[in-house]
Amino acid sequence: MRSGSVRETSAPRYLQIAEDLAEQIQKGVLPPGEKIPSESELMDRYGVAPGTARKAVAELRATGLIETHHGKGSFVKSRPPVNRKSSDRFRRSHRKAGKAAYLAEAEQAGAKPSVRVLYVGPTEAPADIADRLSVAPGTQVLARRRLYFSDGVPTEEATSYLPWDVAKDIPELFAENPGGGGIYARLEDHGHILAEFSETVRARLATKPEAVSLSLSPGAPVIHLTRNAYSEAGRVVEVCDTLMAADQFILDYRIPAGD
């Protein structure tokens, strides 16, 4: 039984409730980090059934305004400063200055960056990686998998792959911290002068395991970035796959207009 409303075909009740809560978040009545009313409280307050209150909360979660934790409640998301990924980050002068790109960028955004190395060592190249490195699938390559944090929150997972014959002579690449300027600086130290990078950008929804490792709500959007590093000899000396929480990043690119 629907209660008599002014407009019979108005917006669904669950959207009205979501809208109401969204407004309170926007106005700061519910500040970031604050717990929003529980589902049973929403039932009482708006006089709706469990399923309806539930759907209102789901709507807010889908739009990224809140995150919910089983057994604890739903909380207003803090809007962290976005990290800008600039194409400038690959300039040789930056590498020479010993800057680590992710560090400088995160600090510029006013966040405390940190890294956790998940794995460094030999791996059999998956098909897509092998293709980009121009080696046979299953060939042994060096993999470096890292998880990046911004203010303690995981935001980005990156895996670099290097051909074994390139990596084997560069001991720093097997260390957790490859030293100032990162692995690109080490490659150039050992004669692999870099000429160009190519990047591809895709956006999609996170899979279940991805959502877990980046601690996202399932169904949150992610940016999937792939990068190939070309040496002056024209060889791909490194490829990198990066998965980012989409709401944390803006990617910047500069494109010359020339011929």
Q: 32: Cβ–Cβ under 8 A, 6 or more apart, which residues?
A: 76, 77, 78, 79
From the list DNA, its own copies, none, which binds 223 (C-beta under 5 to 8 Å, kind-based)? its own copies
Contact 84, 249 (CB under 8 A): yes
Restricting to residues 21-60, which ones interact with its own copies according to CB under 8 A? 51
Residue 55 makes contact with DNA by CB under 7 A: yes
Asked if 74 is part of the footprint of DNA (rule: CB under 7 A), the reply reads yes
Long-range contacts of the stretch 92-95 (C-beta < 8 A, 24+):
92/188, 92/194, 94/181, 95/181, 95/182, 95/184, 95/185, 95/188
Among 6, 7, 8, 234, interactor with DNA by CB under 7 A: 8
Give the separation between CA 81 and CA 71, rounded to whole angstroms: 28
Is there a contact between 128 and 150 (Cβ–Cβ < 8 Å)? no
Which is closer to its own copies, CB of 73 or CB of 221? Answer: 221
**CA torsion, points 196, 135, 189, 117, in degrees to nearest 10?**
100
Amino acid at 254: R
Instruction: Determine if 9 is a binding residue for its own copies (CB under 8 A).
Output: no
Answer whether 59's CB lies under 8 Å from 66's CB.
no
Please pick, from the candidates 6, 9, 200, 255, the single residue that binds DNA as defined by CB under 7 A: 9
Among the residue ranges 68-76, 109-117, 133-141, 202-210, the one whose residues contact its own copies (CB under 8 A)? 202-210
In the set 7, 72, 208, 254, which binds DNA (CB under 7 A)? 72
What distance, in Å, lies between the first and last C-alpha atoms of the chain?
A: 68
Interacting partner of 6 out of DNA, its own copies, none (Cβ under 5 to 8 A depending on kind): none
The binding site for its own copies (CB under 8 A) comprises 51, 62-64, 87, 90-93, 184, 194-205, 219, 221-223, 229-230, 246-247, 249-259
**Residues making contact with DNA (CB under 7 A):** 1-2, 8-9, 12-15, 36, 38-41, 47-52, 54-55, 57, 68-74
